[in-house]
């Protein structure tokens, strides 16, 4: 029996027992009956590997991004899909535009739900798309933690000039993602005259999905674009509140 592995697993299980709680080093050590120096060394290793993360230098620790990737955090998020559907459908009914919920899974933007409008001229969203090409995918990526983003870039690479010219270098990508994070609503208009709008969906203080609208630019007019943005933001706020329950 390898004691240090048992201790590391005990720490992960403790943090998983209350994911909302930020655990201090002393709380972890005392709860598990560990020497604080030993506990600190194990925590340091787990944090370096991304399995736990430090909230800040004084508050403590919680589960890190790699744990959620290990157990497929997207599936964990999808348990909330039923709670989100009524809000998505209501937004579709209000705006009569296609409304989508998207996640990033296996380094792709994946459509998990779509409420379709009744317009003959509408924009259909493919089930999977490279993250850099999708408005909703970029929005989620903009909220990745630094280590998540590094892992994504290492695996996928940077976008080409043809896909996202301003983000074709690392510095450019980081700058573009920072701009997206600062926007209340991220809006793109492509060469095919398609407007994409996206806002984040939070679960346990993490962006796990994106609520989006895709529509022809002829219906994104000076008269209604502020209405579309306002309704999108309101629906996202309602969803985020519902997911706190």
For position 106, what pLDDT does the model report?
A: 78
Which CATH fold would you assign to the domain 3-70?
Arc Repressor Mutant, subunit A (1.10.10)
Residue 225 to residue 119: CA distance in whole angstroms = 17
**Is this prediction's pTM over 0.85?**
no
CATH number for the domain formed by residue range(s) 73-242: 3.30.450.40
- Condensed to tens digits (0 to 9), the pLDDT of residues 173-231 reads 999 999 999 999 999 999 999 999 999 998 777 888 999 999 999 999 999 999 999 99
In this structure, the number of other CB atoms found within 10 A of the CB of residue 231 comes to: 18
For position 65, what pLDDT does the model report?
A: 62
pLDDT tens, the chain, 245 aa long: 588 888 999 999 998 887 768 889 999 999 999 999 999 999 999 988 878 877 656 678 888 766 765 655 555 555 677 789 999 999 999 999 999 999 988 789 988 889 999 999 998 888 889 999 999 999 999 999 888 899 999 999 999 999 999 999 999 999 999 999 999 999 999 999 999 999 999 877 788 899 999 999 999 999 999 999 999 999 999 999 988 87
Helix (H, G, I), strand (E, B) or coil at 242: helix
Same CATH topology for 3-70 and 73-242: the answer is no
Domain range summary for the chain, segments of one domain joined by +: 3-70, 73-242
For position 52, what pLDDT does the model report?
A: 86
Contacts of 236 (CB under 8 A, 6+ apart): 199, 200, 201, 211
Helix (H, G, I), strand (E, B) or coil at 212: strand
């Amino acid at each position: 029996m390898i004691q240090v592995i048992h201790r590391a697993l005990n720490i992960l299980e403790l943090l998983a027992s209350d994911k909302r709680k930020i655990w201090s080093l002393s709380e972890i050590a005392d709860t598990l009956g560990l020497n604080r120096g030993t506990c600190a060394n194990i925590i340091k290793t787990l944090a370096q590997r991304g399995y736990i993360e430090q909230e800040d230098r004084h508050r403590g620790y919680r589960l890190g991004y790699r744990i959620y990737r290990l157990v497929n955090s997207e599936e964990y998020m999808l348990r909330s899909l039923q709670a989100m559907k009524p809000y998505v459908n209501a937004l579709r009914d209000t705006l009569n535009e296609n409304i989508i919920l998207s996640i990033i899974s296996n380094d792709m933007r994946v459509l998990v739900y779509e409420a379709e409008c009744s317009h003959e001229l509408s924009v259909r969203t493919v089930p999977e798309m490279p993250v850099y090409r999708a408005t909703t995918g970029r929005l989620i990526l903009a909220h990745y933690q630094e280590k998540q983003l590094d892992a994504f870039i290492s695996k996928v690479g940077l976008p080409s000039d043809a896909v996202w010219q301003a983000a074709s270098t690392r510095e450019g990508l980081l700058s573009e993602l920072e701009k997206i994070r600062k926007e209340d609503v991220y809006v793109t208009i492509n060469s095919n005259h398609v407007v994409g709008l996206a806002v984040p969906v939070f679960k346990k203080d993490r962006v796990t999905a994106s609520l989006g609208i895709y529509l022809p630019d002829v219906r994104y007019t000076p008269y209604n674009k502020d209405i579309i943005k306002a309704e999108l933001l309101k629906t996202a706020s309602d969803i985020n509140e519902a997911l706190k329950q």
